[in-house]
Amino acid sequence: MQTGVPEDCPQQSPADAGRLAHYLAAWQLSDPQVLAQTRNSCVYTVTHAGAPAVLKLLAAHEREEQRGALALRHFDGRGAVRLLRADEGAQLLEYAAGDELVTLVARGEDEHATRIIAQVLRQLHGAPADAAPAGLVPLEVWFAALFARAAADRQAGVASIYVRGAAVAAELLATPRDVCALHGDIHHYNIRHSPRGWLAFDPKGLLGERTYDCANALCNPVLPDLVFDPARLLRNASILAESLDLELPRVLAFTYAYACLNASWWLELGDAAILQWSLDVAALVEPLLAAAATSSIHAPVNAPALQQE
């Protein structure tokens, strides 16, 4: 079998090249080809036991990918790529080589894509909740950046969207429902087609109410004319709620809270474009929350105020 090292991954050091050679030999892999470079890993396609697979070489001290591996082991192929091998330095994954889900949206099949997201989530959340592994991040911890931003704004006397978003998040997290292992980053670019159907990859490895996994999907894909249409957002939120037996007001509330959380992250990281996108999504969802129920985010799916939208 061919076991040569391909062109260097962007920013790959000689030590990384040595690590690649190590895993090619240790895990009996061949035909490595650079697939992607992320801040957490250098990603290759390889051949494993005669089939294509994905090899991730992890950055030093990387923890997010380690949590993702915990989630993938727990999902065990239900709605997600299978984790074939892993250690602290690398992961070998099933390769979903088909189209990204966003290609359906580009063909005008936005609602179909949303129904596929619901199918994937139903499979992911079908893993035994009582067997969720230790080491997943609870949503209470995941939202820390939003709570910190809101606290700073309150101290400064600023009634910001971060303050309002943190209040919604705190109420949601105080009344959790159907807690299970979460993917944590479900959207149209993290789901691909494979011979086993549509599969998610790159989970964050979270633990909390399953409704949260709908939120990022409603903030995507990166097509402004689509995402910033309130009728589209409400329609797709309704599809997810009905398909997954969730309460529509909570789907909207988690979407709002997540958009505020994402904005708080990118406020710190300094990406103005993603920051503004997240704030714009939050501003879009906020009046829908008020329309749903001014007194509660726990109304049933068929709340009359929502049906009037």
Catalytic residues: 185
Lowest mean pLDDT among 11-25, 48-62, 138-152, 261-275: 11-25
State the amino acid at position 69 in one-letter form: A
Segment 208-230, tens digit of pLDDT: 999 999 999 999 999 999 999 99
**8 A C-beta contact, residue 227 and residue 275:** no
Residues 6+ apart with CB under 8 A from 170: 147
DSSP label of 132 = P
Domain ranges of the chain: 14-94, 102-307
Architecture of domain 102-307: Alpha-Beta Complex (3.90)
Considering the domain 14-94 in this protein, what is its CATH number? 3.30.200.20
pTM for the structure as a whole: 0.88
Segment 75-107, tens digit of pLDDT: 999 999 999 999 999 999 999 999 999 999 999
Q: How many CA atoms lie within 13 A of 74 on its CB side?
A: 28
